[in-house]
Chain A
Amino acid sequence: EAAVTQSPRNKVTVTGGNVTLSCRQTNSHNYMYWYRQDTGHGLRLIHYSYGAGNLQIGDVPDGYKATRTTQEDFFLLLELASPSQTSLYFCASSGGGAETLYFGSGTRLTVL
Chain B
Amino acid sequence: GDSVTQTEGQVALSEEDFLTIHCNYSASGYPALFWYVQYPGEGPQFLFRASRDKEKGSSRGFEATYDKGTTSFHLRKASVQESDSAVYYCALGDYSGSWQLIFGSGTQLTVMP
Interface residues of A (CB under 8 A from B): 4, 31, 33, 35, 40-45, 48, 50, 56, 58-59, 90, 92, 94, 96-106
Contacts and interface: CB of A to CB of B under 8 A. Distances in A.
A102 B102 CA distance: 14
A94 B42 contact: no
Given A42-B89, A43-B44, 6 more contacts: A42-B105, A42-B106, A43-B106, A94-B99, A100-B49, A103-B43
Interface residues of B, number: 25
Given A40-B9, A56-B98, A105 B105 contact: no
Contacts of A50: 98-99
20 contacts: A31-B98, A33-B100, A42-B103, A43-B106, A44-B103, A45-B101, A45-B102, A48-B98, A56-B98, A59-B102, A97-B95, A98-B99, A101-B36, A101-B44, A101-B46, A101-B101, A104-B43, A105-B41, A105-B42, A106-B43
| Top 6 A-B pairs, shortest CB-CB distance | A103-B43, A42-B105, A43-B103, A100-B46, A96-B99, A42-B106
A68 to B, nearest CB: 13
Contacts of B100: 33, 45, 48, 56, 58
A50 B45 CA distance: 21
Contacts of A101: 36, 44, 46, 101
A87 B9 CA distance: 19
A40 B103 CA distance: 12
A99 B89 CA distance: 16
Contacts of A98: 32, 49, 51, 93, 95, 99
Contacts of B98: 31, 48, 50, 56, 96
A92 B99 contact: no
B75 to A, nearest CB: 15
